[in-house]
Structure 1
């Protein structure tokens, strides 16, 4: 589904990414982990076409990415909803831009609003919703556009622990139903282990993939998975790698 070939991204002398090669299969749930500043968000922006690489190329479902790609849907940390539109109009917005008739786009929007657990809130405005509910609207809007790939940049980072856990569970259910290809950024190893089918750990700057781990914890998952010996084994492996990259980053910064 996604082929990342020799990608580099430089901003003048600053090297954000260097020599990133990666293949992501259709239906994988890939989580990117790594220290702050290692280029995770930069890589997502390149995949969706918000930015262009200094070197290399990215191909999504057979199409080289040269501009903002409608076949990729992005969910940001800060919701990015239109405050003057209701929930249903926010979710249907992309379909409206595609020229889909009003009755059809509202029907699609209602289906995904129900999928994310917001039935009954169709006519509310974003300022009447909690943070967790706003993020559900953001996810429903992406799903309604039926992209090949869903990209999520720390979507639950600003939420309280209980809301975050509820949305993690809901995202897993959506993934099971939709079988979409997902790339998800987080700083939480626990979140990565709960959600992913595969985890990629990025190096300290310049960013590249240093460890590629298949998550073999059984699906469906919930918080109980943390009690398994395999969970702790994987968590220790990830922590050791991330810690060594953080230390390397700190040493490089101090020189």
Structure 2
């Protein structure tokens, strides 16, 4: 079966940590932003904002705050995707209505989902334009400092970053879990440990191909989540940004 251009772009994704010393054209960045904004959102609320960061000193600071990830500083441009209910509050003020959504934990789910969908569009758009990217979850390590640096108002919160630039290296495609491990019919299939064992072998081969230490995928994931039972400072900064979630049962 011949795959179309969109599917080819999606299926050939790579995550790049090295970029060519070449700026990204403004018209391409605008197209990426337009693609992100075109994504669907809950009640068409468009609960997402992108901060484009070009200034070297700001990228250096964000690289440090993200766990000293040098590719954040070295990428030509760094995008910070934020869940955004500030505009929602402004809409409520315009209509003379109270803004209560931030008290509901569902607002966090909505905002994070809208960011994820928009970022997916942005990634596909960037890659279709010949650019390389890598998402940066480390932006949530020190959100208080990120909020201050980017001057984010109340009801806005940084969820993920995205390095964008022309690739400065060639990379093989990273394998994924067997489709049967992540796509289930009618009900959740808990009997997937065999698929993980199968994937461990493919993951080790990939690491060998890129010159990295061979490890099982399961070992990498177990190590990460055992060391990071609580990632970053979001527990403290979310309430400061107005997300009290006081209807969440404890």
Establish whether TM, by shorter chain, passes 0.5. no
TM-score (norm 2): 0.31
More strand by share: 1
TM-score (norm 1): 0.30
Which structure has the bigger radius of gyration? 2
